[in-house]
Amino acid sequence: GLLQKEDWHAAWIGAEEQQREKGIPAIPPSPLLRKTFSSKKIERALLYVTSLGEYEVYINGRKVGDHLLAPEWTDYHKRIQYQTYDVSDMLEPGENCLGAVLADGWYAGRLGPVRWDENYPRRGAYGLDRRLLLQLEIETDRGKQMIISDDSWKLFEDGPIQGADHFLGQVYDARKQQPGWDTVDFDDSEWKSATVDSDLQTGKRVAQMNEPVRQVATVTPVEILEPEEGVYIFDMGQNMVGWCRIRLEGKTGTVVTLRHGEMLDADGSLFTDNLGTALQKDQFILDGNGARTFEPRFTYHGFRYVEVTGLDQKADKEMLTGIVIASDAPKTGSFECSHPQINQLMQNVLWTQRGNMISIPTDCPQRDERMGWMGDALVFAQTAIYNLDMAAFFSKWIVDIRDAQADDGRYPDYAPHPYDPNMRFSDAPGWADAGVVVPWRLYQNYGDKRILAQHYKSMKRFIDNIRRHNPEYLWQHATGNEYGDWLNGDTITAKDYPKSGGQVPYLLYTTAFYAWSTSIFAKIADLLGKKADYAAYSDLADRIKRKFNQEFVKSDGRLKGDTQAGYALALAFDLLPKSLQPKAAQYMVKAVKKYDYRISTGFHSTILLMKQLSRWGYHDIAYRLLENRSFPSWLYSIDQGATTIWERWDAYVAERGFQQSDMNSFNHYAFGAVGEWIYQNILGIRFDENQPAYKHIILKPVPGGSLTWARGSYQSIHGLIAVEWKRQEGSVFVSVSIPANTKATLFLPASDVASVLENGEPVDQNPRVCRIEEGKAILHLESGSYHFKADFD
Ligand code: BGC
């Protein structure tokens, strides 16, 4: 990498900044840049490149690397990522050509919150001036050669990409192609010289630390519908994120338009009401030179359905392929069980996760928002970590959070935060707290204390700011936007659902988060050996808890508001005295029964409710909620054909249609946090709070509900952990594998081990049962694979 600023010799090049009009679309075409140079025999060549806006680089007609949307999203005023590519094999001894294309991306393009800014889009979120910074370092047999971006590059401002924007889409005019523009022989005598901006002030250049956005899968259409003559709707069969590759043929000037949507309207047309100002529209203008394959690159869409109009040819399924893009984090989890809808639910969770990992963790991939909303990531982080290796992705995002922290310590509601950090959209309880909770999740799962050390001061500033404004230990001042337990039962408008009273009292909710973040911070201080802070923040956490009890808890364990959410929060964050906990758990169960075994919780408390039901022995109720087919429930959406997680329980209700359309995403992961419960209870794979990162593994599978078997695994940082169980005629068979150099404690779902099996045959009886706790046999296991058979009671 280039570690110091002085290691960079390149200059920011591009076109002169163009003023933009208000309105859609007001995007100037993507500039093309090129330079030829000659080289001796090449031994090794490394290309360092970044841009304001997005870039693609070509060498001798071939695209460099497989990154998409590079250099990805950071607060460009503070940090700009650069990418490094080994291009040794792409250069030739002799003449070579470098080419680059630039587009708006997050830098100059539309961004969620900026839609509320009246000057937008004239201003751009970070700037409008798209520029390239490139340094090619070649080791040749004659020494080192360096090619940099400078004013010797040539520029062409009217290339085939006539406009590209993440929300709006891309317009590609094949008639404007410059054949061979990125090869040596091209005649660029008509091209201008690139301009250099030597005064440009940008953020620190840093190497990209997380997996790049790449094409991670392809999807082929399952069906073509034709609601009107000449209007074709391709059903991809899967709500996905990315774009389409399409093969087109037609007369010159033919405009083929692709519009993308997640659902169909009642009349069979494309449903786009939930997109806000995002158009999700790509256009290809043909040049009449035979069949060609097109695909946009500087935009992305959330869609299951693609409406294609303007075709000169007959639509057929083979002409179109869905290109799925995501930050390419490796898969770590697997899950399967006897219940097909629960399997589908887990598939939906994973699709939703991938679709919302486009450089940063977004709330949704389709409407004009797509922000790194912190509350959503906070609740989903643990599920995300089971599914994919999130270490690098979240480590990068934590820096985005830090970059967005306000001067007084407030964390943002979303990161990156393209506003001035001191402006609105900061410090919302349950959102801002992600600045403490997500690093803590990384530590719990991956054991990396460096993250905590790097982030320590920042977390402390966040807690101190709340304390400063709230000397009475309730988080009632400096609370920023009051979102609360987002999209809880009270926001459901379907007729057959009684108003649930699901809304947890706001001050109870905010103070619960204050207590939780403070106690996590105290634990972190302890881990890092900061004794004075440990004492001070443990004391603060105790005071908040005491106040919480005075204000919201009655002597019989009942909580103010008597909501499912309130009990779930208080139990999950350990806010109640020991003696009241089981009683509060009983009230929590009552609150579930009161609503006919339905969920009235919102984003933040739903997973907590599920986990607390299990923790206090009400597995049957947790299973009942999970398996519930009637509305509102997870499986209700599956029965409606969902292939991703919906933002709202009632996003679409058969008898009523769509929920309010301006906030109704079909690809929103927050309620998918139930994945955490599934991994931790159906499979029973858990880390040990006291020995993080799976050095000691807790295995607590709980067969329940109508499930007869389940199996799955987690690729922990210490190796593969696998669990499988099967219920059969009064017995349960349990198999586990424990990686090398770890130990595990297995809680068998039985009070005794009938037999230990090897190759299906019983061997010595009951060798490792240590004790029976809550009716469960507890076994301490070393690494290896084990099979047990026990009576299932
Ligand atoms: C987003 C949410 C987010 C919320 C804040 C919404 O528009 O889509 O998921 O957390 O705003 O309340």
d(C-alpha 207, C-alpha 202), whole Å: 15
Residue 363 Cα to ligand 1 midpoint, Å, equals 7
Average pLDDT in the 367-372 region?
A: 95
pLDDT confidence of 563, banded at 50, 70, 90?
A: very high
**pLDDT band for position 123 (50/70/90)?**
low
pLDDT higher for 631 or 2?
2
Q: What percent of the chain has pLDDT over 90?
A: 81
In this prediction, residues 36-50 reach a mean pLDDT of: 95
**What pLDDT is attached to residue 547?**
98
Place of tokens 């803590």: 440
The confidence score (pLDDT) of residue 593 equals 94
Average pLDDT over residues 359-379: 97
Mode of pairing for the β-strands spanning 131-140 and 13-14: antiparallel
Q: Is 363 in the pocket of ligand 1 (CB under 6 A)?
A: yes
One-character DSSP codes across 711-760 = EEEEEETTEEEEEEEEEETTEEEEEEEEEEEEEEEEEESSSS--EEEETT
Query: In this predicted structure, what is the pLDDT of residue 129?
Result: 87
Query: Strands 13-14 and 195-196, how do they pair?
Result: antiparallel
* Average pLDDT estimate for 705-727: 97
Q: Is the pLDDT of residue 484 over 70?
A: yes
Checking if the pLDDT of 764 tops 70, the result is no
Ligand 1 pocket residue status of 671, Cβ below 6 Å: no
Query: What is the per-residue pLDDT for 490?
Result: 80
DSSP per position, 51-67? EESEEEEEETTEE-SS-
Kindly report whether the peptide bond that precedes residue 71 is cis, defined as omega within 30 degrees of 0. yes
Residue 118 pLDDT: 56
Q: What is the pLDDT of residue 751?
A: 73
Let me know how many helices (H) and strands (E) the chain has, helices first.
14, 39
Confidence of residue 460 (pLDDT cuts 50, 70, 90): very high
**Residue range 636-695, pLDDT digits in tens:** 999 999 999 999 998 998 878 888 777 899 999 999 999 999 999 999 999 998 999 999
Distance in angstroms (rounded) separating the CA atoms of residues 343 and 349? 10
Phi, psi of 70 (to 5 degrees): -70, 150
Query: Could you list the active site residues?
Result: 369, 647
Ligand 1 pocket check for 478: Cβ under 6 Å: no
Tell me which residue has tokens 């933040």.
604
- Tell which residue, 440, 382, 347, has the closest CA to residue 676: 382
**How many beta carbons lie within 10 A of that of residue 22, not counting itself?**
10
Question: What predicted TM-score, i.e. pTM, was given to this entire model?
Answer: 0.96
Choose which residue among 364, 373, 645 to substitute to test ligand 1 binding: the one with the highest number of ligand atoms within 8 A of its C-beta: 373
Among the residue ranges 347-351, 461-465, 755-759, the one predicted with the least confidence is: 755-759
pLDDT of residue 754: 67
Query: Which amino acid, one-letter code, is at 337?
Result: C
- Rounded Cα distance, 304 and 288, in Å: 30
Two tokens, residue 398: 């934590």
pLDDT-derived band of residue 773, with 50, 70 and 90 as boundaries? confident
Res 124: pLDDT: 65
Pocket lining: 368 vs ligand 1, CB cutoff 6 Å: no
Over residues 538-542, mean pLDDT: 98
Predicted local distance difference test score (pLDDT) of residue 112: 80
Query: Of 218 and 596, which is predicted with more confidence?
Result: 218
Angle at 162 between CA 232 and CA 73, to 5 degrees: 95
Tokens, residue 140:
């040749």
* Nearest of 159, 164, 186 to residue 174 by alpha carbon: 159
Is the per-residue pLDDT at 1 higher than 80? yes
The conformation of residue 679, written as its DSSP 8-state character, comes to I
Both tokens of 127, joined, read 């700037």
- Confidence class of residue 90 from pLDDT cuts 50, 70 and 90? very high
Q: Whose structure tokens read 């751009």?
A: 124
Residues in a beta bridge with 694: none
Residue 25 scores a pLDDT above 60: no
Angle among Cα 757, 759, 764 to the nearest 5 degrees reads: 35
Residue 541 has pLDDT above 70, yes or no: yes
Atom of ligand 1 nearest to the CA of 367: 8
Can you give the pLDDT at residue 475? 97
Amino acid at 328: D
- Range with the poorest average pLDDT among 34-48, 471-485, 551-565, 778-792: 778-792
Residue 719 burial (CB count, 10 A): 16
Atom 2 of ligand 1, nearest CA residue = 363
On average, the pLDDT of the chain sits at 93
Is the per-residue pLDDT at 78 higher than 80?
Answer: yes
Whether 120 has a pLDDT exceeding 80, the answer reads: no
**pLDDT per residue as tens digits for the range 212-254:** 999 999 999 999 999 999 999 999 999 999 999 999 999 999 9
DSSP annotation of 231 = E
**713: Cα separation from own chain's centroid:** 21
Does the Cβ of 28 fall within 6 Å of ligand 1?
A: no
Cβ of residue 364 lying under 6 Å from some atom of ligand 1: yes
Of the pLDDT bands very low, low, confident and very high (cuts 50, 70, 90), residue 395 is very high
3-state DSSP percent of the chain in helix, strand and coil, to 5 = 25, 30, 40
Measured in whole angstroms, the distance separating CA 431 from the mean position of its chain's CA atoms is 15
What percent of the chain clears pLDDT 70, i.e. is strictly above it?
Answer: 94
Please give the pLDDT value at position 402.
97
* Distance from C-alpha of 426 to C-alpha of 409, rounded to nearest angstrom: 10
Tell me the backbone φ, ψ of residue 113, rounded to 5 degrees: -70, -25
Atom 8 in ligand 1: which residue has the minimum CA distance?
363
Residue 24 has pLDDT above 60, yes or no: no
Would you place residue 775 in the very low, low, confident or very high pLDDT band (cuts 50, 70, 90)?
confident
> What's residue 180's pLDDT?
98
pLDDT at 371 over 70: yes
Given a cut of 90, whether residue 18 has pLDDT beyond it is: no
Q: How far is the CA of 512 from the centre of ligand 1 (A)?
A: 20
Closest CA to 145 of 4, 43, 35: 43
Q: Express each pLDDT in 414-443 by its tens digit.
A: 999 987 777 778 889 999 999 999 999 999
Q: What is the rounded distance in angstroms from the CA atom of residue 62 to the CA atom of residue 98?
A: 10
